[in-house]
Amino acid sequence: MRFHSPWRWQPYVMSIAIVRRLLRLFHISEEGFIRKLVTSQNRRVLQYLHDHPPRSVLLIMPRCLKHKGCPVDVRGSLAACHTCDCGDCPLADVARLTASFGVRALVAFRSHIAFAMARREQPDLIIATACDDRLIKALRSVPEIPAVLAPLSSMERPCINAHLDLQWIENQLRLACGSPEQAPRAAFVTLPEAESQSLANEVRAGETESSQRWPIEPDVSRTPSQRRACESHDW
């Protein structure tokens, strides 16, 4: 059964854009409106997954989770983060979770790359966290794939040294995959070498050019000004 999302319907997408434009016109924060859209999406996915348990899961994380000064290259794979002992970057914790549950994770340096990979792999479920504006972009860009979403929990400055609700991520993985012991693969999952290199090259090129089963409201402590400033950046 195909996942039915209103984001497939162009009039719906246009109506969301109009509401956001009006909110901006009258200097009203979009944050509450976007959070309601994300909450509705997560409930919709919950209902779908109740009858269609996911067999493949893809995590998509934003680049701002990689903390400033970290020497690890995460383009194409989080394998290096799995053994990283810096104790500061949230990606190391995400890498350990993906290793335990046997799922793939992608750090999105450019959102169009993340969406292209999602379409190519066609996972049964996407788990993602990002700025509010990027969550809307994800809903609009890959509406055919069920995705549970959460805003970032905090950041030092717009798009710099962000943090996520790791417990929320783990909860989604447990609900999707069962316990780590029940996960289909115990080894750390990375992209094939050729695919990983191709993705890394594309990222570099892009950089140079420019019910409570599924908790739906993770902890959030970002200010509207942080969100608005981050909207000018890509993932």
The pLDDT score that the predictor gives to residue 170 is 93
What's the mean pLDDT in 173-182? 79
Query: Counting runs of H as helices and runs of E as strands, what totals does the chain give?
Result: 9, 6
Most confident of 45-59, 77-91, 218-232: 45-59
Q: Which residues, at least 6 apart from 18, have a Cβ–Cβ distance to it below 8 Å?
A: none
**In the structure encoding, which two tokens stand for residue 46, read together?**
């919950």
Q: Which percentage of the chain shows pLDDT scores above 90? A: 35
88 vs 51, higher pLDDT:
51
Sorting pLDDT into bands at 50, 70 and 90, what band is 25? very high
**pLDDT above 60: residue 136:** yes
Most confident of 5-14, 57-66, 179-188, 202-211: 5-14
Burial class (CB in 10 A: 0-12, 13-18, 19+), 121: middle
Measured distance CA(117)–CA(192) in Å, rounded: 13
Alpha helices in 69-215 (DSSP H): 79-82, 90-101, 111-121, 132-141, 166-177, 193-209
> How do the domains of the chain map onto residue ranges?
6-230
pTM: 0.77
Q: Is the pLDDT of residue 186 over 60?
A: no
Crossing angle for the helix pair 10-25 and 31-51, to the nearest 10 degrees? 150
